[in-house]
Amino acid sequence: MTVPPPEHPSLAAGPVPPPGCPAHATTGPGGATRLYGEAAATDPMGLYEELRAKHGPVAPVLLDGDVRAWLVLGYLENRDVATRSTQFSRDPRVWHGWTSGEIDAATSPLVPMIGWRPDCVCADGEEHQRLRGAVTAGLDQFDHRGVRRHITRFAHELIDGFCEDGEVELVGRFTEHLPMLTLTRLLGMSDESGPALVHAARDLFKATETSLASNAYVLECLEKLVAEKRLRPGHDIASALLAHPAGLTDEEVQHHLRLILLAGYETTANLMSNVLRMVVTDPRFRGSLAGGQMTVPEAVEQVLWDEPPLMVCPGRWANSDTTLGGQRIKAGDMLLLGLAAGNVDEAIRPDPVAPVHHNRAHLSFSAGNHECPGQDIGRIIADTGIDILLTRLPDILLAVPEEELDWRSSTWARHLTALPVTFAARPPRAPDITAPLPVPPARSSGLPPAAPWPQGPDGPAGVPVPGQRPAPAASWWVRLGRRLLRR
């Protein structure tokens, strides 16, 4: 790329900022901005706007270890890179950094995020279609009502664990655990494996010195799962991938399970935390929900525009020299999709405060043939979990001043570390026994026959139980609206 390499003579020109100076901390070789460190962690959106003002829709940046890349900031430029696969490859082996000595593949914390793996994310063309088809079939085998039943059971179990206390920290007790419990169940893992995987997944996305070890732990867990499902297949994603006509190897199945687990968990946990933060900190947002002007799914879409759970998506690699956003991109250069920056590009959002909750044209799940295949399940987890929480605890209030809320950011994502709330204490929900949902119809995709969903407590509102009259229940925002009117 056109940013000078570390040994370029121009780096010696001009005064050098003293150690500890902000300029020294945020600027690296060639004057490129570091996309890691304190500035990137404390105000990533502000950093994106500074880069946009200085460089336009495509900016040179440095990753951990001063690894060079281009950050795509413009909405249209992001869609161009994501949809033009012949020019911008998804195969990281195209990158010249592997042979230039710019990165140590054995020790760099970037490797779990930008290294090659035998999965559909790192493939183009026919190989991508083969692998992606298996993943899509594995996800599509689930009836969405059945998925909601799992989410509903897990959500009630989590809420029952703290509803009598009158206070809870929602990130650590709810939003981080509900997505992992749901995904491990869909993948075919035990519920007990969730807590350790939550810790490993968070550490992997932080890109720290322990990220490689966390990545190895996740792969080890999934390797055992694949071996188990070879012997005892079930109605789960692991078994579906193993049985698919595409003929995935055990290693390919293992890495696709990793992809689904990590991508689905990180984005959904962050999304739920961001929506609930808006509920307890923004009266207009809460009022729109309470007044019926916005549903929970629409609230989720609004937050996907404003605070995407994955802020930067790695990565694309240029197959040949080209020009993008006024910058000269060289063959082998690395490009990063700036999903958060693209979503607030004034070219498509001239008024950043105007509601866009009816619009799904955001970049939060990427675009093109690599757009996230599991986004519908992520939405179901977020919609169902948030609705159940606010229905059972409609009076939640932030327990600390808003300015005390804290985030932990990496190059790729920014997530809330804690969201303490208070509410009126309530008893746990009385367990009910419900009839199982019907099994989805058999598909001709080569998947094993679907087994009945495991029975559990009752499903989400709107799913009737045979022989049982549904109890009328006003939604949480309608009840809140009535309370406000009585004041």
pLDDT, tens digit (0-9, with 9 covering 90-100), for 337-356: 999 999 999 999 999 888 88
Query: What is the C-alpha separation between 336 and 345, in angstroms, rounded?
Result: 16
The per-residue pLDDT of the chain, averaged, comes to 84
Sign of dihedral through CA atoms 269, 272, 276, 281?
positive
In the predicted model, is pLDDT for residue 475 greater than 70?
A: no
What pLDDT shows up at residue 347? Answer: 93
Cβ neighbour number for residue 435 with a 10 Å cutoff: 13
Tell me if 59 sits within 8 A of 73, measured CB to CB: yes
What pLDDT shows up at residue 431? Answer: 65
Cβ neighbour number for residue 95 with a 10 Å cutoff: 24
What pLDDT shows up at residue 160? Answer: 97
Inter-CA distances, 262 with 113, 219, 388, 400, Å: 11, 11, 24, 30
pLDDT (tens digit per residue) in 362-418: 999 999 999 999 999 999 999 999 999 999 999 999 999 999 999 988 899 888 999
Tell me if 416 sits within 8 A of 273, measured CB to CB: yes
Inter-CA distances, 122 with 219, 240, 375, 385, Å: 17, 21, 19, 32
In the predicted model, is pLDDT for residue 132 greater than 60?
A: yes
pLDDT band at 18 (very low <50, low <70, confident <90, very high): very low
pLDDT (tens digit per residue) in 313-332: 988 999 999 999 999 999 99
In the predicted model, is pLDDT for residue 135 greater than 80?
A: yes
Q: Which residue has the higher pLDDT, 434 or 241?
A: 241
What pLDDT shows up at residue 318? Answer: 98
Q: Which long-range contacts (CB under 8 A, 24 or more apart) does 94-97 make?
A: 94/317, 94/318, 94/319, 94/332, 95/317, 95/332, 95/333, 95/334, 96/331, 96/332, 96/333, 97/67, 97/68, 97/332, 97/334
What is the arithmetic mean of pLDDT over 419-427?
97
Listed in order, strand segments (DSSP E) in 131-195 are: 167-169
Chain centroid, CA 91 distance in Å: 21
Structure-block tokens of residue 400: 């600390």
Sign of dihedral through CA atoms 47, 52, 55, 60?
positive
pTM of the model: 0.80
pLDDT (tens digit per residue) in 428-474: 987 654 444 444 455 444 444 444 434 444 444 443 343 444 444 44
Closest CA to 154 of 129, 179, 130: 179
φ, ψ of residue 184 in degrees (nearest 5): -65, -35
CA atoms within 13 A on the CB side of 208: 10
